[in-house]
Structure 1
Amino acid sequence: MRKLLIAFALAASAATGAIAQSGPQPIERRVGRLEQEMRAVQRRVFPGGQPGVVEPEIRPIAPAGPTSDVSGDALASLAERVDALEAQLRSITGQVEEQGHRTRQLEAQLTQLRADLGGRLDRLEQNAPAVNPAPPIPAGPAPAAPAADDPAAAPSGATDPAEEAYNAGYRLWAAQNFAEAQRALNTAATRYPNSRWTSWMRNLQGRAYLDDDKPATAARIFLDNYQNNPRGERAADSLYFLGQALTRLNRRPEACRVYDELAQVYPNMRDYIRTRLPQARTDARCGAGGGNAR
């Protein structure tokens, strides 16, 4: 929204400069020029219109016709045109400022949500039992093929080493060897931090902890995967499963806020998540219209 305000200011400055440099001109021509500049501002601030915003329209008043004496009806007509332009300018400015205010409020709420979750998860993890490291265990034979809509499923026949590492961790998780899957996926994500599969690895690592009845640790992993790689292919999944972990921890208000953020940040989330979100909100006792749990 700040870009819109800057664009608006530049266009308005250009309009003022053009009028100032044009020298003495008939007042009708100057008002007509101002109307043209206002249309340019309108097109720039409202390109193609905005959903939910009533787009102001420039409605020029017909000129009074050529005259050498600007007085009487001609002067009144020009005054009306200037008044209309000023009113439309105020309307555009007000809408831009209102949208900017709403955007700043949303950003502040999301920042506060992330800070609150981080602090609470830190406290929960302090009370969680430590997990002793163990030597790596071979993946063993692959289990039956996962369901087509399984969020952890990966394509077969991988040739990318990172994808192969993810598939090895997936096989452990699918066989319910959760502790081994946790270690294997953490090692793989550390080894391939810049791969597209890192988002998959961290998300499945969090699921391995969640399925191992360790929701506090799982919540930390899901939150980190979302925050550190919000454009990752499983960032939306991690936000969804973060809500699941918080519900398990009886942190229902926070879970509802997470589900709200999921809907706002990822409106094009995968169908697997979209179809399960209503039940997740019900389990967290979220209000029908969104927001905190009842």
Structure 2
Amino acid sequence: MTADPVTAPAELVTQDDAVLTINVSTAGPGNPLSDPAMLAGAAALREVARGEREVGAILLRGPGANFCAGGNVRDFAAAQHRPTFLREIADCFHAFINALHEADRPVVAAVKGWAAGAGMSIVTHADVAIGGSATKMRPAYRGIGLSPDGGMTWTLPRVVGAARARHIILTDPVIDAEKALAWGLLSDVADDDDVETAARSAAEKIAAGPWRADSAARELLTRSATSTLGDQLAVEAQSISALSASAEGIEGVDAFVAKRKPDFAKARKG
């Protein structure tokens, strides 16, 4: 299945089997956030949410040397009315972020080079973020006198803790790959030349697995931040019980007992 050429131009959004790939930045100088990609990506992600696309994983990448170096500040400066322009940019970006969550599929980010500003915000929404030894991250907002967008003030405390999130946003450090891995901003670090390959491999592996179980696990992990242990145990029990009667759950258990590899794709098709 391939991306719709009208709502998702091929250079921005593509689909290979069950992996939906979105190029979040432009290939031009600096690799800034791509507004057309936000629009096309959001449209494709809403198709996933509505059940119009069969997708098991979402891969976010940058087509240039960097994942995404943030918003195009030159465009900010050239805007006739900056508040109106920045609000439109933020609303477009946030529609993409909301659609990413509504799609309810595991998100993998291929974080090569820089992930700054909006690029760093996007990385904090990934379930699996793979960088290279040269990967660098930076909030970058306060350097131009602005506050974060893209949900960074919501996701970053959940990833690194409240105190460290405040430190990162208010002191605006450059975070190298080693530190990003230690702080949980990256899931793994590959050789710089292998970042794309490693991220796609992770997305393909996830997409080949049990989609309902992955969605349930992601929901449980999201709830855990505000749940008591008792509440979390209750919803875990409900979830695992319900999944045991699903086609994927039945296939997984039966395959284990039969000592064979589960075919979750076949099970989903009934």
Provide the TM-score with structure 2 as the length reference.
Answer: 0.25
Query: Which structure ranks higher in relative contact order (CA pairs < 8 Å, sequence separation ≥ 6)?
Result: 2
Is the strand fraction higher in 1 or 2? 2
Q: Which has the larger radius of gyration?
A: 1
Is the helix fraction higher in 1 or 2? 1
